[in-house]
Amino acid sequence: MNDQPLVSIVMNCYNSDTYLKEAINSVFEQTYQNWEIIFWDNQSTDQSAQIVKSYNDDRVKYFYAPTHTPLGEARNLAIEKVSGEWVAILDCDDIWDKDKLQASFKLLNSYNQKEEVSLLYSKTVYIDENGETFGFFQEHYSGDIHDLLLTKGDFVFISSAIFRTDILNKVGKIDESLHYAEDYDVLLKVTKNQQVLCVDAYHTYYRVHNSSLTSTKVYEYDVENFEFLNNYIKEHNLPLNLKVAIFLNNSSRMTASVIKLLSKKDFINLVKIVKGYWQYLLLSPYYILHFIGKRIRKVIKNNK
């Protein structure tokens, strides 16, 4: 791996024209310029194609899907087109800081065992529909993070991730049977027995808006994650401490899910998720108090 390897930036698009230009512009503004965009148009009917084709640059490679497919399959089809030693995934509603790629490979080049590194990522900022910052995701780790992904949950945002291509291909890329937990799955696969480096800077901007999956598919999203982690326990013979940690993470997720479904007045799915995963509600009083405590501490800190 040379000092400036080619980075293939995969952008999967389906009617994503609202924020698309911002996302692509954030790539063009990178201080690191050895990249290509693999733009996979999943048969959009909006202005997405016109926007991406307006960039007169050979590094932007546009592909129109022969058939519309689920996101996991679409990502794999796009990954098959990459030429780079590294693959980054940038969702069409997210953006990067101009120094994201430069800082990532500067960190990699300072690491003695580059060949052991399968993933680079950076810290993430939450932005709203207007691009205004409303939060920071501070949790970040380097080194052997596989077990941490199980004990602390999925703390690597997919738009922040830069995968080593050969490792990504070796583990089978994206699991196409998953629709909501596929990011978590691929992160666990590429970090198994590999090293990870995180840039200690906020270089990824994750957009939260009303049409995002986590907002519109609360029940489906959380149920698949419950099932994914339960199956992971069965398939990998995990030690007790990891099993306990997964139960605690599912309890936290369940509490948040119940609150979201109540706020949406989605009582049908609320009853379904409680009936199917009632055991994760046992610790809900603790997580509710923990959440309220965090809010109180934040208010006190801001008023100082």
Q: What is the pLDDT of residue 299?
A: 66
Q: What is the pLDDT of residue 302?
A: 66
Percentage of the residues of the chain whose pLDDT score is greater than 70: 94
**Model confidence over 248-272: pLDDT tens digits?**
888 888 888 888 899 889 999 999 9
Domain match, 256 and 159 both: no
Q: Which residues contact 286 (CB under 8 A, 6 or more apart)?
A: none
| 216 band by pLDDT with thresholds 50, 70 and 90 | low
Q: What is the pLDDT of residue 177?
A: 92
Q: Is residue 212 part of a domain?
A: no
Mean pLDDT of 7-23: 97
Question: In the predicted model, is pLDDT for residue 2 greater than 60?
Answer: no
Q: Name the residue with tokens 């409680």.
A: 274
Residue of 81, 159, 68 whose CA lies nearest to 122: 159
Mean pLDDT (the chain, rounded)? 91
Instruction: Out of 207, 239, 254, pick the residue that ends a domain.
Output: 207
Domain match, 164 and 251 both: no
Mean pLDDT of 148-155: 92
Q: Where are the alpha helices (DSSP H) in 139-239?
A: 146-151, 165-170, 182-191, 213-216, 218-236
Q: What is the pLDDT of residue 186?
A: 96
Domain match, 22 and 93 both: yes
Cross-strand bridge partners of residue 40:
12, 63
| 29 band by pLDDT with thresholds 50, 70 and 90 | very high
Domain match, 31 and 161 both: yes
Domain match, 65 and 153 both: yes
Domain match, 108 and 64 both: yes
The domain in which residue 143 lies consists of: 7-207
Mean pLDDT of 17-28: 97
Q: Is residue 192 part of a domain?
A: yes
Instruction: Out of 187, 207, 227, pick the residue that ends a domain.
Output: 207
Q: What is the pLDDT of residue 1?
A: 47
Domain match, 174 and 296 both: no
Q: Is residue 166 part of a domain?
A: yes
Q: What is the pLDDT of residue 291?
A: 66
Question: In the predicted model, is pLDDT for residue 12 greater than 70?
Answer: yes
Distance of alpha carbon 240 from alpha carbon 238, whole angstroms: 7
Distance of alpha carbon 126 from alpha carbon 9, whole angstroms: 21
Domain match, 32 and 154 both: yes
Six-digit token pair at 200?
Answer: 């200690």
Q: What is the pLDDT of residue 3?
A: 72
Domain match, 135 and 272 both: no
Domain match, 178 and 44 both: yes
Of the candidate ranges 33-47, 82-96, 163-177, 254-268, the one whose mean pLDDT is the lowest: 254-268
**Model confidence over 285-300: pLDDT tens digits?**
777 776 677 667 766 7
Domain count, the chain: 2
Q: What is the pLDDT of residue 264?
A: 87
Residue of 92, 238, 80 whose CA lies nearest to 174: 80
Distance of alpha carbon 247 from alpha carbon 105, whole angstroms: 36
Residues 188, 147 contacting (CB under 8 angstroms): no
**Model confidence over 109-124: pLDDT tens digits?**
999 999 999 999 999 9
Q: Where would I find the beta strands (DSSP E) of the chain?
A: 7-13, 35-41, 60-64, 86-89, 95-96, 117-127, 133-137, 162-164, 195-207
Q: What is the pLDDT of residue 185?
A: 96
SS3 string of 137-154?
Answer: ECCCCCECCHHHHHHCCC
Distance of alpha carbon 62 from alpha carbon 40, whole angstroms: 6
**Model confidence over 231-249: pLDDT tens digits?**
999 999 899 999 999 998 8
Instruction: Out of 182, 207, 232, pick the residue that ends a domain.
Output: 207
Domain match, 221 and 294 both: yes
Q: Which residues contact 186 (CB under 8 A, 6 or more apart)?
A: 163, 168, 171, 173, 174, 175
Q: Are strands 162-164 and 86-89 parallel, antiparallel or unpaired?
A: antiparallel
Mean pLDDT of 143-153: 93
Q: Which residues contact 168 (CB under 8 A, 6 or more apart)?
A: 79, 87, 186, 190
Mean pLDDT of 180-205: 96
